[in-house]
Chain A
């Protein structure tokens, strides 16, 4: 893991285009998913996705390979979202979710081998989707980083630029909110 990070750091310092191509391929799903959760909008997530990689190219020399690459990548993406949000004078990450949009979060079905399973899966996806929308973005974000991206709490603290204790308290509240939202959704 450490060697991989060091190799990435060296490649980024040299702005190695092949390395960047490989990283874009490798992290496309995780970064896009994170951005969709944070922004609540696929089109906006696409913009931020591209801009994040441009920043990785421009600021690659700042990555020293001492931490996980994905933590650095998510931190860049997050700062971009926050900068954009500040420029729009929004007040919280939740402001990025446009309630006017019919489907601010688009989720794909898992496997749908039969029409019945497809319908059930769709209902379940929609349930999760609408439930997640009920959770404040700051909690949604920590849940995604911890339980989808499987980042360590210390790594999350560096991504979010907040103390470890705040990460933990957000996780506890987020977990509570998630359970509550899903229970409410299924009720």
Chain B
């Protein structure tokens, strides 16, 4: 029997376990393993290995599910409590933007007037007007950064050593 035939046999033995064989491949392999002891033994070894893998039991710690359920419920409560706060923050930001857009022409005039009164160059009071617009976004960023900082202070299991 040529080496190529054995090679095909071994390939099909693996293929049968990994992705399955076509009918013709299955028939060829069945015929081949009937005649070839080497390939038949290889198939048996493969099956034994897979059986060993499948039947190896790993015990789950008795209270792991209960501990996890408790932690998940705790986190769910935390998320529920935090949701209205976050919603309020975005509502406040949205209201502030809307108000900002509506009042833009008046604020522009106010900055212009203040600029003239203080004798500031045009670029300076225009810059002041631009900065005024960033206040709501800056406020939102500060709140979010503070919130993130607070979260990172909470004990993090991933930081445990080992």
Q: Contact residues of A with B, CB < 8 Å?
A: 15, 17, 20-21, 24-25, 28-29, 32-33, 36, 42-44, 46-47, 49-51, 53-54, 56-58, 83-84, 87, 98, 105-110, 124-125, 127-129, 131-132, 143-144, 146-148, 153, 168, 171-172, 175-176, 178-179, 182-183
**Interchain CB contact (< 8 A) of A125 among B56, B71, B80:** B56
**Contact indicator B14/A36 (Cβ below 8 Å):** no
Indicate if the CB atoms of A108 and B72 lie closer than 8 Å. no
Any chain A CB within 8 A of the CB of B8?
Answer: no
Contacts of A148 in B (CB 8 A): 53-54
Asked if A153 and B162 sit within 8 Å, CB to CB, the answer is no
* Stretch from B29-37, B61-69, B91-99, B106-114 that touches the partner: B61-69
* A147 and B157 within 8 A (CB): no
How far is A179 from B80 in the complex, measured between Cα atoms in Å?
50
Listed A/B pairs (22) with beta-carbon separation below 8 Å: A17-B73, A20-B72, A20-B76, A32-B64, A33-B58, A36-B58, A50-B157, A57-B75, A57-B76, A57-B79, A110-B57, A127-B52, A128-B52, A131-B52, A147-B50, A147-B53, A172-B18, A175-B14, A175-B18, A175-B50, A179-B46, A182-B48
The answer to whether B45 touches A179, judged by C-beta atoms less than 8 angstroms apart, is yes
The answer to whether A49 and B79 touch across the interface, beta carbons within 8 angstroms, is no
| B side interface size, CB within 8 A | 35
Bound-state CA distance A51–B118 (Å) is: 59
Q: List 9 extra interface pairs beyond A98-B162, A106-B58, A107-B58, CB under 8 A.
A: A21-B69, A32-B60, A46-B64, A49-B64, A57-B72, A87-B158, A108-B59, A143-B53, A175-B18
Chain A residue numbers with a CB within 8 Å of B56 are 107, 125, 128-129, 132
- Contact of A15 (CB < 8 Å), options: B45, B59, B76: B76
Chain B residues whose C-beta falls within 8 Å of the C-beta of A132 in the assembled complex = 53, 56
B18 touches A109 (CB 8 A): no
Q: Is the CB of A53 within 8 A of B68?
A: yes
Bound: A83/B156 CA distance, A: 13
Of B52, B58, B65, most A-chain CB atoms within 10 Å:
B58
Instruction: Decide: B50 and A178 in contact? CB cutoff 8 A.
Output: yes
Interchain CB contact under 8 A, B57 and A108 = yes
Interface contact B158-A84, CB-CB below 8 Å: yes
- The reply to whether A168 and B19 form a contact with Cβ atoms under 8 Å apart is yes
Q: Which residues of B contact A53 (CB under 8 A)?
A: 68, 71-72
Choose among A87, A129, A146 the residue with the greatest number of B CB atoms under 10 Å from its CB: A146
A153 CB contacts on chain B under 8 angstroms: 18-19
A44 to B146, CA, bound (A): 31
